[in-house]
A = this chain, B = another copy of it.
Amino acid sequence: MPRATQGMHMDMKAMPAGASPANNNDLPSESGEELTRIGEMAKTFGVTLRTLRFYEDKGLLQPRRDGSMRLYTRKDRARLKLILLGRKVGFSLREVKQMMDLYDPTGSNSKQLRLTLDKSEKQLARLNKQKAALDDAIGELTRGMAAVRQLLAERSPHVAAAS
């Protein structure tokens, strides 16, 4: 099912392709914007093409198009950086989108900042819980390994004792 194309301002004038000075990775548009293709984006940020398309499908990125080819602007790169930061600290894509959607370049963004702070406090608590669970798991696993080693020592023939 295709997403509702809210706010998608498809450029109606076709972009004059082929006016680029060289076969460079950066494709400067007529407006001077450095446009990045998806392969470059993926390499730069250490993600797969699928990930970038997935984020777009979820409404987190809206790169320009040249025909069917995606072209990412400086803003797209900034957004992706934020998305990956959010993912790194454990936010879901839905949460990341919720916070980013509140951004308003004309306002003070205090609402966005307060939501972000609130979510961050809760997320920090979750991370600390996860850390406790991880330590717990490491302890259990270590104990289990000792028990298994013990069983192995009992069951297997005593090979190469101190000669």
Q: Which residues of A contact B (CB under 8 A)?
A: 85, 88-90, 108-110, 113-114, 116-117, 120-121, 123-124, 127-128, 130-131, 134-138, 140-142, 144-145, 148-149, 151-152, 155-156
Inter-subunit contact A88/B148 (CB<8 Å): no
Inter-subunit contact B121/A128 (CB<8 Å): no
Copy tally for this chain in the complex stands at: 2
Knowing that A88-B137, A110-B155 touch, tell me 10 more A-B residue pairs with CB under 8 angstroms.
A88-B136, A88-B140, A109-B151, A110-B152, A113-B155, A114-B152, A117-B148, A124-B142, A127-B134, A127-B137
| Overall SS of chain A's interface | helix
Identify the interface centre among A88, A117, A137, A145: most chain B CB within 10 Å of its CB. A137
Shortest C-beta distance, A86 to chain B (Å), equals 9
A108 to B156, CA, bound (A): 8
Inter-subunit contact B108/A140 (CB<8 Å): no
5 contacts between A and B (CB under 8 A): A88-B140, A89-B140, A113-B151, A113-B155, A114-B152
